Amino acid sequence: MIVFIKHITIEGPGTIADFLADNRIPSTVIDLSQGDRLPKLEKSFQSLISLGGPMNVYEEEKYPFLRDEGLLLKRVIEEEVPFLGICLGAQLIAKATGARVTKNPEKEIGWYKIVLNDYGLHDDLFRDFSEVFKVFQWHGDTFGIPEGGRRLAFSELCQNQVLKYGRNIYGIQFHVEITKDMIIQWADAYAKELESLKGIVSDKQKMIADYNTGEKPYMKQAEQFYVNFFTMAGLLKRKHFSFSQSI
């Protein structure tokens, strides 16, 4: 069983859920914004995936569930449960391992190139990836690299794009799970943020146009990422998988 942790209704598992369904890997979604309770770690949980959200990791008084999730992630680390944190989820796992989470010098919103360093190029999470590839971003904060952890990738505007801790704990700053509908939904929900950054970051139309242009390589890239992660988690055999979103 894969457990997803949602922090806001509109930021769901996207194409990860599609991939799991295509490969008959069971999953469940815990939506903290709707009052769902965090799960207890059980042997039936094979992996935990923490998704994004507009809140900051240091807003625990405003969002008490962030404190509870931090305690759960400390257990995840201790038990070495295969974990993937996306955007806010990556910042939460960084905080749980003792790293700082701060404002990034600039916001990244839209499509950007990231670069794998030597560690990233040799890590199984990025098996069969190019050294440089495009991803979708929507973040204002950035995570540090904890003691004992490693940075696997960087971008021009944000030095820490991927962190690895231990054997199977990963945090990615970008949104591998994004769909076109999610981009539209986020752009509408966070319209004030986009308006405040007009001329600095991509607007709704540019993000959608860039998605349409790069959809085919992006979906193949997402597929490869899922194959790599879930193979490492012991849930998939590399030569036996399917993904209906592939083009």
CATH fold for the domain made of 2-232:
Rossmann fold (3.40.50)
Q: Which residues contact 228 (CB under 8 A, 6 or more apart)?
A: 124, 125, 126, 127, 128
Catalytic annotation present for 223: no
Give the model's confidence band at 247: pLDDT under 50 very low, under 70 low, under 90 confident, else very high. Answer: very low
pLDDT at 246 over 70: no
Note if 87 is an active site residue: yes
Confidence of residue 40 (pLDDT cuts 50, 70, 90): confident
- The yes-or-no answer on residue 158 being catalytic is no
No. of helices (H) and no. of strands (E), the chain: 7, 9
CB atoms within 10 A of CB 178: 24
Kindly report, residue by residue over 203-214, the tens digit of the pLDDT. Answer: 999 999 999 999
The Cα 185–Cα 165 span in angstroms is 32
Q: What is the pLDDT of residues 18-27, one digit of tens each?
A: 999 999 999 9
Using CA atoms, how far apart are residues 90 and 161, in angstroms rounded to an integer?
A: 9
Which of the residues 7, 11, 108, 175 is marked catalytic? Answer: 175
Catalytic residue among 87, 108, 139, 223: 87
Give the strand pairing for 27-31 and 83-86: unpaired
- What average pLDDT does the structure give for the chain? 94
235 or 227, greater pLDDT: 227
134 contacts 112 by C-beta, under 8 angstroms: yes
Residue 153 pLDDT > 60 = yes
Residues 6+ apart with CB under 8 A from 74: 96
- Judged against a pLDDT cut of 90, whether residue 43 lies above it is answered with no
Backbone angles phi, psi at 42, to 5 degrees: -130, 160
